[in-house]
A = this chain, B = another copy of it.
Amino acid sequence: MDHLTIIKVGGKVLEDPVAAEQFLSAFERIKGLKVLVHGGGVTASKLQQELGQDAVLIDGRRITDEQALKAVTMVYAGLINKQVVARLNAGGYLKAVGITGVDGAFITAHQRPVGEIDYGFVGEIDDVDLGFLHTLLTHFFTPIVAPITATDKGQLLNTNADTIAQEIAIAAARKYETVLMYCFDLPGVMADINDPKSVIPHITPESYTKLKHDGKVAGGMIPKLDNAFKALEAGVFAVRICQAADIVTQGGTTVMMG
C-alpha cells in the first residue's frame, strides 16, 4: 500500500508571506505522495470588505450569500490556489495541480440545511470519489485543493477546508496508508495553552480519555481531536497536528489508535 500524506494548512499560514514560504518549502520536501488542502478566509474577508460587503462569520463559518460565494470562489480557487501552485512548480521538486472539489466532480456536496442560522451557500460533503485524485497522484502530480465544492445540479458551495481534508483522508484510506496533518499556528496539542513546551507528542483513545478527565485538553481542541478519532476509526493511519515548520520533523502531536 502506497503512503499518502494529506495536509490541511490554515489561511493564516499561507496569508503571511514569511510563514507561507517556510511552509511551502517544507511541503515540497515531504517524501512520497501528498495532497495539500488550503483555506484563505482572511483574504476572502478582505476582498468582501473592498467590495463593500459585510464579512459575517459565526463560529468561524462564513455566512455565504451570493456575493460572498463569488468572493470566496475568486479568492480560494483563483488567487490563493494559483499563487501556491505557481510557487510550488517554480521550486522544481514537484508538479502541483490546483483543483477544487468541483473539478472532476470529485467531491459532491449539498447545501447545509437552514437551522437556527442560515449559512447560505455552504456545503456539506456527501461523497469523495477518489478517481480523479488517484489519476493525478499516479502520474506524479500533486493536488492542491481549494475549499469549493458543488451540488450535482452545479451550485457552487463554500466548504470547510478541515472537513474536506478529513473526508479526502477517509476516502483515500481505502487505497493508501494515509496520514492526515492539520498544520496551523500552534506547535500541537498543548497540556498548557501558555507553554509551547507542553506539547503532547502522542494521543491514543486511552490517553485522550485521561487528558480530558484531567482537564488538559479543552475548548476548541476537543472537536478537533474528536474528528481525528473519527478519521482513525474510518481507516486513516494517523492524524498529526503541528506547526508549519514541523511538517517534515516528528514535531507536534500524533493521534493514533495505539
Within 137-175 of A, Cβ neighbours of B (below 8 Å) are at 139, 141, 148, 150-156
Bound complex: CA A114 to CA B132 (Å):
41
Partner of A82, one of B95, B104, B148, B151: B148
Is A100's CB under 8 angstroms from B82's CB? Answer: yes
Within 75-122 of A, Cβ neighbours of B (below 8 Å) are at 75-79, 81-83, 85-87, 89-91, 95-100, 102-105
A binding-site residues for B, Cβ under 8 Å: 47, 50-52, 70, 73-79, 81-83, 85-87, 89-91, 95-100, 102-105, 132, 135-136, 139, 141, 148, 150-156
Partner of A102, one of B52, B85, B148: B85
Q: Nearest Cβ distance between residue A196 and chain B, in whole angstroms?
A: 32
7 residue pairs A–B, Cβ–Cβ below 8 Å: A74-B74, A77-B98, A82-B100, A82-B102, A86-B150, A99-B103, A132-B141
- Nearest B residue to A151 via CB reads B90
Is A73's CB under 8 angstroms from B77's CB? Answer: no
Bound complex: CA A79 to CA B148 (Å):
11
Partner of A99, one of B74, B97, B135: B97
Q: Which residues of B contact A86 (CB under 8 A)?
A: 102, 150, 154-156
- Nearest B residue to A153 via CB reads B90
For the complex of A and B, the 8 pairs showing the least CB-CB separation, nearest first, are A78-B78, A90-B154, A74-B74, A74-B78, A86-B150, A89-B105, A86-B154, A77-B78
Q: Which residues of B contact A152 (CB under 8 A)?
A: 90
